[in-house]
Amino acid sequence: MNTGKLTGHPVLRTRRLVLRPFAMADSEDVRRLAGEWEIADTTLNIPHPYEEGMAEKWISTHSTGFDENTSLTFAITCRKDGKLLGAVSLTVQHSHSRAELGYWIGKPYWRNGYCTEAARAVTEYGFTVLRLNRVFAMYMTRNPSSGRVMAKLGMKSEGIMRQHYKKRDVYEDFAMYGILRSEWISESEVTR
């Protein structure tokens, strides 16, 4: 288990993406992309409407999570032009060697595989650098696209949590998916 202090927020690169820390300069793009109803509707913590100042407040929390070694939040950007596409994060529980994976992609960039590519890079970072034993994620069952991302990562369905969270006065069912380091290693060896 790696419980040591992280030094310097990592920047991850994939074939098409750069995953980097958010900057205040990203706030208007965050507000525009996360402010779409379709994003807020199927994510637990994104409000609608997404008002002035909310993006800045959200971005300002990232350094605390990083400094306290409890979370890593990455801006998903296009490698070619630096355009912001969305966000991906790990919320780490070191005492259990696990992290929750979270993500969203702006609506104009859906159906391009960006979310899967970013989530794969962050999951790999969790297993190889943070030495996690488990990465898990949850999605609202009425958002099966999010579940497809999890399945593409090799995550296994672990069940449905009925009416687990309440959003806008509606109790939502959430599906839980997870993958263990041993499974990640086995999958990685097969795809090499």
| Span 77-112, pLDDT tens digits | 999 999 999 999 999 999 999 999 999 999 999 999
Please state which CATH number belongs to domain 12-191: 3.40.630.30
- Could you tell me the residue ranges of all domains in the chain? 12-191
Which are the contacts of 50, defined by CB distance < 8 A and separation ≥ 6? 31, 34, 35, 40
Give residue 7's pLDDT band: very low, low, confident or very high (50, 70, 90). low
Residue 43 three-state SS: coil
| Span 114-139, pLDDT tens digits | 999 999 999 999 999 999 999 999 99
